[in-house]
Amino acid sequence: MRATAAEQTQSGTLVLLCLASWAIPGAGHLWLGRRTKGLVFLVALPLMFAIGLAIRGRIFPFELSDPLVGLSALADLGIGATYFLAGALGYGGGDVRAVTYEYGNAFLIVAGLLNMLVVIDAYDVALGRK
């Protein structure tokens, strides 16, 4: 069974929508006309990530030797372009001696995981499920 041109275009658009939503939190909702939700995500999720960095959280490296560190790295990556920007600017080294270190890690990880949920929500909205 071959996909029609309309189905291929729709699936290509969905892929772009999901990539945009992952790269820039809230972009998928803005694309779909859900401005309020999109703006809330656009502000809240990068702010949450920035707070995690400010209180000395660590952006975890991809280490296969320690599964929990690897999973934390995947969660951090969920925030999209903000992850790469923070790394390029030298943030996210973490400070284990800081009292707020674990809280910072939690903020960074949860911001990434929430953005992944935002991507799924944008996908569901685009398909008309919501």
- At 18-46, the pLDDT tens digits run 999 999 999 999 999 999 999 999 999 99
Mean pLDDT calculated for residue range 89-111: 97
Give the structural domain span for 73: 5-127
Assess whether pLDDT exceeds 90 at residue 72. yes
User: What's the domain count of the chain?
Assistant: 1
- At 55-71, the pLDDT tens digits run 999 999 998 899 999 99
Instruction: Calculate ∠ Cα 20-23-27, nearest 5°.
Output: 45
Assess whether pLDDT exceeds 70 at residue 115. yes
Q: How confident is the model at residue 7 (pLDDT cuts 50, 70, 90)?
A: low
Q: Where are the beta strands (DSSP E) in 1-130?
A: none
Assess whether pLDDT exceeds 60 at residue 79. yes
Q: Tokens 């925030």 correspond to what residue?
A: 79
